[in-house]
Copies of this chain bind each other. A is one copy, B any other.
């Protein structure tokens, strides 16, 4: 039996590299991700990725971009599954965010480590957070939470969640306490956002 010869042209090298990179990202860290190793895994020469990603940074940015897309989808579907009421939707958003952030720690690091964020990345992150932002506007319109710039309120909420995820991922918080802490954070967050009489 002859081994099927690998064609000279891979066909979908870009997608294969990204897929392989995501696997490597969960196995090892983002630190030790090597272009040459990815090329090896996909079965292609170490110079081949250059056609699809001008340099390593470009591949990492593409990973971050896909990460924002997946995050957006998970946030959206978690909120949809929570029904139409404000508070359950907010809780669902918070849980889903921390869940994603701790399940994909290395990817999240990449998503937020992009100092020189290009426009594509900026758009992707804005799109991922569109639904929760809308939730806040809706909550304000319904008088569930105090008025104010939704962007500002959303940023503070996101910061609290991102900080929780960061502490969990760094090992300062045991992840077994995760759900309890998220519930606590949401409760206090709501207290801080409640309309004042």
**A interface residues (Cβ-Cβ under 8 A, vs B):** 29, 31, 109, 112-115, 117, 125, 152, 155-156, 158-164, 166-167, 170-173, 181, 184-185, 187-189, 191-194
Contacts and interface: CB of A to CB of B under 8 A. Distances in A.
25 contacts: A109-B113, A112-B170, A112-B172, A113-B170, A115-B170, A115-B171, A117-B171, A125-B172, A152-B181, A152-B184, A155-B172, A155-B173, A155-B181, A156-B160, A158-B167, A159-B160, A160-B163, A161-B163, A162-B167, A163-B163, A187-B192, A188-B192, A188-B193, A189-B192, A192-B192
Given A114-B171, A163-B164, 18 more contacts: A31-B31, A112-B166, A112-B167, A113-B170, A115-B170, A152-B184, A155-B172, A155-B173, A156-B160, A156-B181, A156-B184, A158-B167, A159-B160, A159-B163, A159-B167, A161-B163, A162-B162, A162-B166
A115 B52 CA distance: 32
A159 B166 contact: yes
Identical chains in the assembly: 2
Chain A, interface SS category: helix
A84 B161 CA distance: 31
Contacts of A193: 188
A156 B172 contact: no
Contacts of A31: 31
